[in-house]
Structure 1
Amino acid sequence: MRKNPFNMLKLGVVGCALLVGVSGAVLPLTGIASAETSGQVTAVPISASVQIKDEVLTSQTTYLKTNIKVPQLSGMLDPIYQAQMNDIILSHANKDLANWEKEAADAAADAKANGFTYRPYDLTINYVLKSDGTSNPAGVVSLQITTYAATGGTGMPRVDTYNVLNRVEGQRVTLQDLLGNKFKETVNAGIQAKINEKPENYFKDEFKGISEEQGFYVENGEAVVLFPKYAIAPGSTGTPEFRFSLPENLTIAAKPLVSTPLKNMKLDLISSDSVTNTQGVNLVPFRKVAEGLGYEVKWNQETYSAEVKKGAQWTSVTVGNDHYFFAKMAPVTLGAAPVIQNDTLYVPLKFVTDILHADVKTGDAGAIQIEQKE
């Protein structure tokens, strides 16, 4: 079978992780495998359940129809972690809305210029709370958010999954927490066995094993591993899911906290570090700047986007997209989109000042000094 070349939507499928895991898939295709247990610990306070309220977002343009319900959690034992998680979820939705408003407006203008009838684009965001923390494993909250955009034809969903442990000190839940240190071997073997049962439903030799940030959710005592549509199977198969049974009364060990002292971060760039585009906008290397200021950087090859995180601070950029945001702020334009030159991702210098809120001083011969105060 040949892969469907479908690649029409910039939403695509995201695979990344910051406070929580993120990835994509929707429709069921199940497999069962036993799991090795992770470490057992003494019981700690866990809430009965979390609650969710809808944050409804609407478009300010008639070119885009929306049905957007963004989940915002309440009732977690760690209010700071809860606020960070809600910020990330809402920021994703606001950025998607801004991106598709621009896409729709551009398409409407193009249709008018060429005498075509324009049909509004559609953007839908909804969610399912897979586990509220009251079932096995105790305290695990698992949330699945589906983002679907359509331009008049078939769209591709993006499914983000968030798995957290609801304790006084909240933490991200991983497949290793659920399936033990040999989780990769367990999951890879289980998935390959299901593929071998019906190989006609999958792309030949496409499954190479799960990634470090493989998407999954927890439901009814099972870890459900997800794959994006078209990743390992044709569209007719749907978006595969593989289920792995978890031990009864599984307790997840708390991860040790790492305390990082606050300090000012300084970075010096020389003239050869930066480039200037044809519009005269000064661009600086994204990774070098972000890591120099103490951010964790994660690149997503499928969506040509990069995310950065430091504590509660989080943002992302996408190649070719002049939309930038930080936490709850609405997306803004900075006069130039991120670009890749010589295998390096560059962003406008204004990204450093306006988005990361760092101080910038320019010196002789193109030197740039950056300082971010904690």
Structure 2
Amino acid sequence: MKRKMILAGAFSLATFIGAVLPGTYAMNTVVAAEQAVKTEGHVTISSINEKAPEYNVQINYPQFQGLKDQAFQESINQSIKDWVNQKKTEIVDGALEYPSPQGAAYQLFMDVTERQSGNFISAVMTTYQYTGGANGNETVSSYNVLNKAEGKSFTLPEVVKDIDQLNNLIQKEFQKHEDVYGATALNYPGVREDQPFALTDDALIVYFSEYEVAPGSVGANSVSIPRDEIALIDELADQKSNINASEKATVTVPVKKSDQGKTLISVRELAEALDMNITWNQELRRVYLEEAGASYEIVPSVPIYQVNGISMRDIEQPVFIDGHVFVHTDFLTDALDAKVSSSTADHISITR
């Protein structure tokens, strides 16, 4: 199984931040709203939006639902609320007490992605804060719970049998990209006790905040370790979603061949086949795809694409053909977690 290195930074938040950085507000009053945005599986994503001339707060945060242990659910949900409100208060109070010398509004953006493997549920939060100066800071945190009669939360060191094995696998990934990670590739100190992570049916994903293991230009990033390479504790080793092949959907889409003989898929035809919403931003020259629980951003001629706000690297770059954007099959396998097989000479089958 191919490991993925996920990089975020200039691409991952550029669109989101670019619309709200320095001095773009003409409001005289605070505009605030809080609501439940959407529900995915065992996670409800709630929203807080509050704007004033001095600050801009846009938060999506998780609340677990339908857990077997209601007392545990209430406790962890309250912990998340308390943490979110603390961050919001720090930004609002800081903006009012210590305004940016540049006159720019303070920023706090949070978003969440749910991952699940059997009864193990991960809610991964990406947080961007700007409090003046040239750049903000992007951090990652996670809440990981096992849904059982007596609910339990886990830290990363608690889910693996051998933490040294995990650290060695992570360092090997850094060494493959020494040009990105620099000294960390040679001397990785190991995961923290509170290192954010997520568990899927296929991989253990370890997340790193901006500046944690690489220069700020890299942004937040992550390493994905295939589950067949890492020993999980017995309590989690068998946690899988158990989706049978018969329960997965298969669609067929037409393809083209590049001059190098590589398979290319039209993003628009892909979106139609998979029932995704598709939007083209002419000014930024990028494509946005949306489906339940996930969003994707594709930038033609750049070998990076976003999945839920975190950018992936080391893919074949999307291309323009006759005014349409095409991607290679690695976008299907890496971003969409799909299986691809040949159907005919000019069609492929996609199963997910």
TM-score, scaled to structure 1: 0.47
Larger-gyration structure (1/2): 1
More strand by share: 2
What's the TM-score once normalised by structure 2's chain length?
0.50
Using CA pairs under 8 Å that are at least 6 residues apart, name the structure with larger relative contact order, 1 or 2.
1
